[in-house]
Each structure stands twice: as structure tokens, then as C-alpha cells.
Amino acid sequence: MRSELLRRVLSNRPILLAYAGALGLFLTTSAFSTGFASENNVRLLLVQASFIGIVALGQGFVILAGGIDLSVPWTLNGAAILLTLFANGSNAPLAWAIPLVLALGALVGLANGLGISVLGVNPIVMTLGMNVILAGGLLVYTNGSPTAAAPSHVEYLATGRLGPVPVNTLVWAALAALATIVLTWTIFGRQLYALGTNRTVALFSGIAVGRVTVITYVICGITAAFAGILLTGYTGQAYLGMGDPFLFSSVAAVAIGGASILGGSGHYLGTVAGALILTVLAGLLPILNLNTAALQIIYGLVILGTVALATLPGRQAVTR
């Protein structure tokens, strides 16, 4: 099993290049910034990368199947706000509040998946519309000013440590292992790649295209909601707009990790490297006296570049 994974990774040049790029960028930034490679800062980078990486897990599954989810920002934001309002700073309600919030994230994904697979709505239109609905609903529900603080257990999940390792990094590693197993060794993983490569062929091959599509969006809703829970613990409270940065960063992480933005090729192991690259880039901006708006330009260039490469005539699919 391990040898099969190693063979696939070594045969996938984009993944190797993504990790080489992450390491090179980290070493370059460390050379220009004293303390950037310190133990505390590395822990901070891993924590920040985990938020992008977890959102990008679900987004990556959707993209592999040939779709995209633009409802990620307010699914994340909604989960953060609802968790703090349900718990109201207390740990006791978390036993039902966290499962409920994750279920609500799954419900958003289910609505997206059914709208796309059953009603035939374009993924961009469906998920963008859902994002607007969620934003409006949360503004009405909170009167525009959510005030509850995050419970201490959620803060520990986001900022606590087990020895020298951040807890949420361990959670991210567990999710990465699970995603790797699903994509590499399961029937569902093979169906994802087949669907993203050619929807018509997948349909005639007996794949339940509608079911696979719905499952990918449900996964994306759950991971966005879970990232919202973690981010709430990191910031100490929920606030409107906290999910906005994760729309393009989640897509960019998938693209930087070597996946085709049009579906059919890529792996979550590459997305992990993409999340690390984007996090190091965010740390590099202050050193270069650039503000965070520069990241938006980078996201846009990455997405445009990968789409252009994916649509070049005669371009072969990346080996999975």
C-alpha cells in the first residue's frame, strides 16, 4: 500500500514540483527574514496553512470531478457564526453544536449537488447563488453583528499543542491521510477522476454521475464548515466576511498543487503543498512591503495560468 502511494507520488511531477517550490520559497524567505524559520513561526505557518488546506480538501474533490464550489466563503462563515451563537462561549453545548454545524454544512453541499446534478444548474451559477443566499440569511439572522465568543475547547483545537506540534496540524494530517486513501485506493476515488476526465464516458461506464457529484459537494460543505469551526477558535470569535479569503485561496491551492482546474487530474498531496506555498507567500508580503491585496493578484494569476495550460491543444492529462 505504501509502495503504491510512493510510486504514484514519484510519477506525478507537479506534486514534486509543488513541494520543491514550497521548500525553495521557505528557504528564500528565511534568508531575508530573521526568525522566519524559527520553531514558533513554523508552527504558526502550519496552523495558518491548515485552514486553507482543509477548505481546499473539499474544493479539490469538487474540482477533480469537474466542478467548482463558490459557496465556500459563507458556508465557512455560517458555521463559525452559528457555532459561537449556539455555544455562547460555553463548552457544554459543543457536543451537539459541532455535529449540527457540520450537518448544516453538509446540507448546503447537498443542495448544491442536487441543483447541479438533478436540475442541471451550472456549478458556478448554483454555488454562487447559494453563497449569496447564505450571506443574506446570516446578515438577517445576526442583524449584521455576531457577538458571541468561541468556547475554550474550540480555541484549544485551533491553537493548542500536543508537545511541539499544533493540535490542528495533527487534525489536518489525519484529514490528509484520509483524503489520500480515498483518492488512491477506493472506487469512489477512481470515479472522481473518471467523472472529471469525461462526464459522458463516465456515464456510459456505469458510474452514478449524479450520486458522485452530490457526494463531492457534500464533502466540500463539511470541510468548509469544519474550517469555520477551527478558524473561530483561532480568532476567538466569529465575524462577518471571515470566509471571503478562502474562495480563491482554496482554488489556487488545488491548482498550485498540480491539479487540472478543469478536473480529471491531481491529488490532495499536491494541494497540501499548494496550501503551504500560499501561506509562505502571505508571510513574504510584509518583507517585500506589499499588502495582502497582492495575494489576490497571485490567486488570479495562478487560476488564469492553470486554466490556460489545461486548455492548450494536445495537452495530456497529468498522471495520477
> 265: domain CATH number?
1.10.3470
Please determine, for residue 310, whether its predicted confidence score (pLDDT) is greater than 90.
no
In a domain, 318, yes or no: no
Task: Determine the pLDDT at residue 276.
Answer: 93
Contact partners, residue 189, CB within 8 Å, separation at least 6: 182, 183
What is the sign of the dihedral through the CA atoms of 6, 168, 162 and 86?
A: negative
Please determine, for residue 319, whether its predicted confidence score (pLDDT) is greater than 50.
no
Please determine, for residue 187, whether its predicted confidence score (pLDDT) is greater than 50.
yes
Please determine, for residue 221, whether its predicted confidence score (pLDDT) is greater than 90.
yes
In a domain, 220, yes or no: yes
For residues 151-170, give the mean pLDDT: 92
Tens digits of residue pLDDT in 95-143:
999 999 999 999 999 999 999 999 999 999 999 999 999 999 998 888 8
pLDDT confidence bin for 251, thresholds 50/70/90: very high
161 has which bridge partners?
166
For residues 151-173, give the mean pLDDT: 93
For residues 270-295, give the mean pLDDT: 83
Task: Determine the pLDDT at residue 312.
Answer: 57
pLDDT confidence bin for 148, thresholds 50/70/90: confident
pLDDT confidence bin for 10, thresholds 50/70/90: low
Please determine, for residue 286, whether its predicted confidence score (pLDDT) is greater than 50.
yes
Per-chain mean pLDDT for the chain? 88
Q: Quote the cell numbers at residue 118.
A: 438533478
In a domain, 166, yes or no: yes
The region of weakest confidence among 58-62, 96-100, 145-149 is 145-149
Highest mean pLDDT range out of 88-92, 206-210, 214-218?
Answer: 214-218
For residues 241-253, give the mean pLDDT: 91
Count: domains in the chain:
1
Contact partners, residue 134, CB within 8 Å, separation at least 6: 71, 74, 75, 77, 78, 108
pLDDT confidence bin for 263, thresholds 50/70/90: confident
Dist CA 139 CA 78 (whole Å): 10
Task: Judge residue 19's burial from the number of C-beta atoms within 10 Å of its C-beta, 0-12 exposed, 13-18 middle, 19 or more buried.
Answer: buried
Dist CA 17 CA 270 (whole Å): 9
Domain boundaries, position 129: 2-309
In a domain, 24, yes or no: yes
In a domain, 79, yes or no: yes
In a domain, 198, yes or no: yes
Task: Determine the pLDDT at residue 261.
Answer: 85
pLDDT confidence bin for 219, thresholds 50/70/90: very high
